Structure 1
Amino acid sequence: MSDLPFIYQFLSGAVAGISEILVMYPLDVVKTRIQLQTAPQGSPEAYSSMIDAFRKIVRNEGFSRLYKGITAPILMEAPKRAVKFSANDSWGRFYREKFGVVGPSQPLAVLTGATAGATESFVVVPFELVKIRVQDVSSTYKGPGDVVVQMVKKEGIFSLYNGLEATLWRHITWNAGYFGVISQARTLLPKATTPSERMRNDLVAGTIGGTTGTLLNTPFDVVKSRIQSTVRVPGATPKYNWTLPGVATVAREEGLAALYKGFLPKVLRLGPGGGILLVVYTKCMEFFSVYASS
């Protein structure tokens, strides 16, 4: 199926991405809130858990706040997921030809996933930044469009790519873990002989892959959220500016556990979400395979 033209890979990735975001977006809002939180534990405004964050957001701001800023992710999901899967397929073909590899292998899957993650990062940074600014509890922006206008006016056009380096770290590690584990999991799962069994295997493999990717990239995601939520002031050096120093700062000031702030909502989203992505993408590619051959 990966030999289908790029347009079919792109459309399949877009449909998969939008399906996942519609189901899982509230978990992303909660994850971002917890990652940006610096209030001391035990204070009234602090989130003590994922459930507590859900409860306080709904009680204090209304249920609709759980979908606040979804416009940017919806606009992002089509190109983001389309690039993720189509780049993974395209880079896979490139590396197989480059290294003379005939079949799939886990090292090749990890390399391909990491490269696809780097490619994807350049597409998603502005959308991610807008989403973070809107989701922040202290946000005064009217919406995604207002974020763009205000940032360009106050911080310059290139501010829309604040956090690119951290995004590269986040997406390279997640994609390497996701696609690398999918490759291995598919070989270990019982052989599928029916469409329902293939869907089951894709759901299981994608969920394991999404969980692994999340374990690897959460520290980088925490720092990325901090970097992108910071308004840049001319002449002032932001506290969070580069990824690895940012990781060290969070660990030193808040403890190692702080590098996994928001992990539970994140893994609940990207674990099952990874399964949803793989199932929908595979089904779309199967549909387009039949369509292209008819």
Structure 2
Amino acid sequence: MASEQAPLPFGYTFAAGAIAGVSEILVMYPLDVLKTRIQLQTGKPTAGADHYNGMLDCFKKIVKNEGPSRLYRGITAPILMEAPKRATKFAANDKWGKFYRDLFGQQQMTQGLSVLTGASAGATEAFIVVPFELVKIRLQDKASAGKYNGMVDVVVKTVRNEGLLAMYNGLESTLWRHILWNAGYFGCIFQVRQLIPKAETKKGQTINDIIAGTVGGTVGTIFNTPMDVVKSRIQNTIKVPGQVPKYNWAWPAVLTVFKEEGFGALYKGFIPKVLRLGPGGGILLVVYTGVMDMFRKMRDERLGKQL
């Protein structure tokens, strides 16, 4: 198993995380667009073109009314974000894991340390992704389609109209979202790997990683979807001087959504989100593990030539 082998320097874990992240987003991005559209929808769905009665209805209406290319609108920001985001996720998880093992005097990772490590890695990751997430959300929203001409235009107009710090709108909710997802993701990966038979072949290891990563991604999504809903709304809110935004802080925003729209609204966009991040979590883990194994092989071959 990759986690039991000799550790590689930080640069290798960072590069492997970056490759894994970009691979996942290229495959799963349209589901993220569907998720965001549904999350930004307030009130009860109607039969109009601007309202969606679920994931399939959202997909059909986007393709019919806006064209298939709209399913990839805003992908530049996530692509630019995915390398540092996923790289930071795995590299930070590796570093925090070593820190906590030393802090608590543990030779091996435990279930509790896996959850704590994942949460810490999620908090670290959140600081990287907030500006990219804000750009992505505003490009994905149909109401913003005529406001921005692309990623750079979003940044310019946001900074000009709302101030530089507006690029970090939603930082608190993003912190909660990533802490909850990563705690569930890495905690479940540890637990699932303990429960399933240890792989004896490379193919078996890949299957185990798919299972562990998919379970981890699904559980993480169940934990963090309410925070993802309010994060989307917070980041899509234009700050107006002198006005207190309806969605501002994470937990009060959760309460507002619950009071006005019911508990189910906190899980808007859950199906496309879990369809992306469940299998997406498996893709991440498989690619990351595969790239790390390749790096180890290259290192070992290089060391062998030097002997």
State the TM-score, normalizing by the size of structure 1: 0.99
- Residue 40 of structure 1: how far off its partner (Å): 2.8
Match of 1:198 in 2: 205
Match of 2:19 in 1: 15
- Asked if 2 retains the 8 angstrom alpha-carbon contact of 1:39 and 1:46, the reply is no
Match of 2:272 in 1: 265
- Residue 42 of structure 1: how far off its partner (Å): 2.7
Counterpart CA distance in 1 for 2:196 and 2:47 is 46
Match of 2:305 in 1: none
Establish whether residue 109 from structure 1 lines up as the match of residue 102 from structure 2.
Answer: no
Counterpart CA distance in 1 for 2:44 and 2:64 is 21
Counterpart amino acid of residue 194 in structure 2: T
Counterpart CA distance in 1 for 2:300 and 2:129 is 33
- Asked if 1 retains the 8 angstrom alpha-carbon contact of 2:78 and 2:136, the reply is yes
2:127 to 122, 130, 136: 122
User: Over aligned residue pairs, what C-alpha RMSD do you find?
Assistant: 0.8
- Asked if 2 retains the 8 angstrom alpha-carbon contact of 1:181 and 1:212, the reply is yes
Match of 1:58 in 2: 63
2:240 to 233, 237, 243: 233
Counterpart amino acid of residue 41 in structure 1: P
Match of 1:157 in 2: 164
Query: Aligned with 1:224: secondary structure?
Result: helix
In structure 1, the gaps of 5 or more residues are none
- Residue 290 of structure 1: how far off its partner (Å): 1.1
2:10 to 6, 15, 21: 6
- Residue 39 of structure 1: how far off its partner (Å): 4.9
In structure 2, the gaps of 5 or more residues are 302-307
Counterpart CA distance in 2 for 1:18 and 1:189 is 28
Counterpart CA distance in 1 for 2:177 and 2:43 is 25
Stretch moving more, 62-71 or 37-46 = 37-46
Match of 1:25 in 2: 29
Counterpart amino acid of residue 53 in structure 1: C
- Asked if 1 retains the 8 angstrom alpha-carbon contact of 2:43 and 2:261, the reply is no
1:133-282 alignment to 2 at 5 Å?
Answer: 133-139=138-144, 140-282=147-289
Counterpart CA distance in 1 for 2:25 and 2:52 is 23
Counterpart CA distance in 1 for 2:173 and 2:44 is 25
- Residue 41 of structure 1: how far off its partner (Å): 1.9
1:28-47 alignment to 2 at 5 Å?
Answer: 28-44=32-48, 45-47=50-52
What is the aligned-residue identity percentage?
66
Counterpart CA distance in 2 for 1:277 and 1:107 is 22
